[in-house]
Amino acid sequence: MSVNSLHIFIPDLCGLGLSFNIGGLGLVMAIISTYMWIQTSLFSVEYMKHAAKKPRYFFFLVLTYISTTLVFLSDDVYTTFVFFEIMSIASYVCVIHDEKEKTLRAGGVYLAVAVIGGLVTLMGIFLLKDLVGNLSYETLRDMCEAVLHGGNTSKIRQLYIAAGCILFGFGAKAGMFPLHIWLPMAHPVAPAPASALLSGIITKTGIFGILLLAVRVLPNDSGFGDVLCLLGVITMLLGGLLGIFSMDIKRTLACSSMSQLGMIILGCGMIELLGEENAIAVRGTILHMVNHSNLKLVLFMAAGVIVMNLHKLDLNEIRGYGRKKTALKCVFLSGAIGIGGIPLFNGYVSKTLLHEAVVEYMMHLHDAQRAGLFKAVELLFLLTGGMTVCYMLKLFICVFVESNTDKKLQDEYDKGRKYMSPLTGAVLFVSAFVLPAFGILPFLTLNRIADVSEGSLYGGALEHAVNYFSLENLKGGLISIVIGVLLYVVFVRKLLMIKNSDGDLVYIDRWPKKLDLLTLVYEPVLLVILPAVFGFICRAADFLLDGLILFLRQTTHSQLRERKRIPEGYLRAYYLGTITNKLEDLCRSFLGKGKRKNNYIHILAGKQFVLRESHRVINASSAFSFLMFAVGIIAVVIYLLLA
């Protein structure tokens, strides 16, 4: 714990009392949250000018802000969880603001993931609370270590299950594979300021929770570290891939968020794996959180300016919009360069640190096989960096360099009409200014941030200061850039663009529609299979006693016993019909489907009548045939006798 921190405990509020710790990483993130909220609110003024239900939007924006900030400032698991849940619900209302069908579907997925994640986390917290009793962050690490080294296998198992449950909820918020589904859906449909907050700061609360697990619940646990690394690598690769394929500017940015968050989760894994020497990993993780927030603020607001003017997101439609708009171009470019990890911008610094962390772990390893594995992780990290460069290039070239295939539209775009208010412009510039400022002077800015906050994560001492601009580190950045440019030239230009009928190159969506985790797995399982199976079992249970009473009333306790006249000659139809009637009644009451429409006794009696008639006809006709047959035979016999 940092020395300069202020602990506040409010007893009895929300039952157990809420406690806050103002200092360290939490304070840094809270300040960023405040900064982002101010920027997005100012941006909202123009963006939401013509939107309906503004009070609702701003109310929930404020609620989201307060709860997000308090998540970062919380000092025990309970407080974190309380505000985490409030944040999830409040941000939902911001996401679905325009209430269109697509928005509502995306919002529904977001809400479902949030609710399921929250409940699973709650289960984890129950288990954790049962193990350690006191959930305060100050004592949590020691208590969990005591459990881990206590040797009681059932308790250790419970701790792992608890950690897994908590990881589920926070990981879902952090866009971790396989719970990332909401991220690429919710961002494109949300209002741009909400997207910026969602991507920039709300996903960070998920990371905050994962960090809590990594440094407090399972400190220096290599098994958990491996899991985090694996999930991180999958998330960042998948995010990058989806980003390259995406056809929608905000979706690309959302996938980019997923990819960057994957990197951060990898960083969390490295914190675990490096053990005592995790200083670089800690600093890298923290700084990438900080940088990613700032970057996504700029990028989403820049995208927001486009959406605000055009109300379109498709790359083919917005193509060429920014050609003559220098201010917007500069702002977007600085964001793109920053997130691409190009030196002298902020993203480079944190990516370098994360890269260093992986390399350092590799050097510590003696096991050749494992070292090879982490060599692969390092390469994949660089590849992801390349992917980032690639999709950013795709966006930038599409919107700001190329001209639209529709000449009239391009002229319209180039007319130089006013496209943002001075306030929005100022907000964009301030946000964009931060990026190179952090990148050029990392020693003055980013290093200080890391110094302040690393204490909260029990970071070890830094062995040597990292020279961000050394040849070795610049090489890593350069490799990524080269990969990115290659990917763009070879993959995007050749495979993701085709010539249309006029001979112009246009972007096409080559991602197979079927390959969607949500429609392929989650929806069938959660909405069809499970409810059907359990619904059937529960219906049976629900019907148990009522069914018994019904059965008794029909058989032994029948109250109204009227003598029924059985129609003469239709005995079989009567009994069979009664049984069928009862069976259908039973099935219907069991399945809850109204009253029976037909009386089987009548139907069967009718059938029996027909049967009897035809019987008679057949009998008669066959009797006649036999007669004729006999006549014939007699005739034949007489003929034979006479011949």
Burial of 330 (0-12, 13-18, 19+ CB in 10 A): middle
Beta-carbon-side half-sphere exposure of residue 531 (alpha carbons within 13 Å): 6
Please, which residue, 125 or 198, has the CB nearer to other proteins? 125
Give yes or no for residue 108 binding other proteins (CB under 8 A). Answer: yes
Q: What does the alpha-carbon distance between residue 14 and residue 338 come to, in Å, rounded to a whole number?
A: 42
Residue 569: CB atoms within 10 A of its CB come to 11
Tokens (6 digits) for 606: 């009718």
Closest distance of CB 131 from other proteins, Å: 9
Tokens (6 digits) for 133: 């009793």
Cβ 201 vs Cβ 272: under 8 Å = no
Cβ 470 vs Cβ 376: under 8 Å = no
Please, which residue, 208 or 245, has the CB nearer to other proteins? 208
Please, which residue, 1 or 63, has the CB nearer to other proteins? 63
Q: What does the alpha-carbon distance between residue 54 and residue 503 come to, in Å, rounded to a whole number?
A: 45
Closest distance of CB 167 from other proteins, Å: 16
Closest distance of CB 204 from other proteins, Å: 20
Partners of residue 136 on adjacent β-strands: 76
Give yes or no for residue 535 binding other proteins (CB under 8 A). Answer: yes
Q: What does the alpha-carbon distance between residue 307 and residue 613 come to, in Å, rounded to a whole number?
A: 79
Give yes or no for residue 123 binding other proteins (CB under 8 A). Answer: yes
Cβ 270 vs Cβ 357: under 8 Å = yes
Does the CA dihedral 363-365-366-370 come out positive or negative?
negative
Q: Which stretch binds other proteins (CB under 8 A): 109-117, 184-192, 362-370, 408-416?
A: 109-117
For other proteins (CB under 8 A), the number of binding residues is 36
Tokens (6 digits) for 155: 């308790």
**Which 538-577 residues touch other proteins, going by CB under 8 A?**
538-539, 541-542, 544-546
Give yes or no for residue 55 binding other proteins (CB under 8 A). Answer: no
Give yes or no for residue 12 binding other proteins (CB under 8 A). Answer: yes
Q: Which of 534, 609, 624, 629 binds other proteins (CB under 8 A)?
A: 534
Q: What does the alpha-carbon distance between residue 281 and residue 298 come to, in Å, rounded to a whole number?
A: 26
Please, which residue, 85 or 248, has the CB nearer to other proteins? 85
Q: Which of 32, 61, 73, 82 binds other proteins (CB under 8 A)?
A: 82
Please, which residue, 82 or 214, has the CB nearer to other proteins? 82
Closest distance of CB 113 from other proteins, Å: 12
Give yes or no for residue 86 binding other proteins (CB under 8 A). Answer: yes
Q: Which stretch binds other proteins (CB under 8 A): 77-85, 184-192, 195-203, 340-348?
A: 77-85
Beta-carbon-side half-sphere exposure of residue 449 (alpha carbons within 13 Å): 24
Q: Which of 119, 359, 409, 430 binds other proteins (CB under 8 A)?
A: 119
Please, which residue, 533 or 617, has the CB nearer to other proteins? 533
175 φψ region: left (φ > 0), alpha (ψ -120 to 50), beta (else): left
Q: What does the alpha-carbon distance between residue 259 and residue 252 come to, in Å, rounded to a whole number?
A: 10
Closest distance of CB 107 from other proteins, Å: 8
Question: What radius of gyration do the chain's Cα atoms show?
Answer: 35
Q: Which of 6, 8, 13, 482 binds other proteins (CB under 8 A)?
A: 13
CA angle 371, 372, 377 (to 5 degrees): 95
Q: What are phi and psi of 545, to 5 degrees?
A: -75, -40
Q: Which stretch binds other proteins (CB under 8 A): 363-371, 381-389, 512-520, 537-545?
A: 537-545
Cβ 506 vs Cβ 498: under 8 Å = yes
Q: Which of 2, 41, 59, 129 binds other proteins (CB under 8 A)?
A: 129
Tell me how far CA of residue 496 lies from CA of 252, 371, 391, 401, 487, in angstroms. 14, 36, 12, 17, 11
Closest distance of CB 78 from other proteins, Å: 8
Q: Which of 22, 42, 66, 116 binds other proteins (CB under 8 A)?
A: 116
Q: Which of 118, 232, 267, 284 binds other proteins (CB under 8 A)?
A: 118
Give yes or no for residue 89 binding other proteins (CB under 8 A). Answer: yes
540 φψ region: left (φ > 0), alpha (ψ -120 to 50), beta (else): alpha
Closest distance of CB 112 from other proteins, Å: 8
Q: Which of 241, 247, 238, 242 is nearest to 509 (CA)?
A: 247
Please, which residue, 486 or 540, has the CB nearer to other proteins? 540
Q: Which of 104, 310, 373, 485 binds other proteins (CB under 8 A)?
A: 104
Which amino acid, residue 629?
F
Closest distance of CB 190 from other proteins, Å: 15
Give yes or no for residue 320 binding other proteins (CB under 8 A). Answer: no
Q: Which stretch binds other proteins (CB under 8 A): 6-14, 343-351, 505-513, 562-570?
A: 6-14
Q: Which of 422, 420, 404 is nearest to 412 (CA)?
A: 404
Q: What are phi and psi of 346, to 5 degrees?
A: -65, -35
Give yes or no for residue 479 binding other proteins (CB under 8 A). Answer: no
Cβ 322 vs Cβ 329: under 8 Å = yes
Q: Is the peptide bond before 178 cis (omega within 30 degrees of 0)?
A: yes
Please, which residue, 122 or 462, has the CB nearer to other proteins? 122
Please, which residue, 31 or 122, has the CB nearer to other proteins? 122
Q: Which stretch binds other proteins (CB under 8 A): 7-15, 300-308, 486-494, 509-517?
A: 7-15
**Chain residues that interact with other proteins, rule: CB under 8 A:** 12-16, 81-82, 85-86, 89, 96, 99, 104, 108, 111, 115-116, 118-120, 122-123, 126-127, 129-130, 531, 534-535, 538-539, 541-542, 544-546
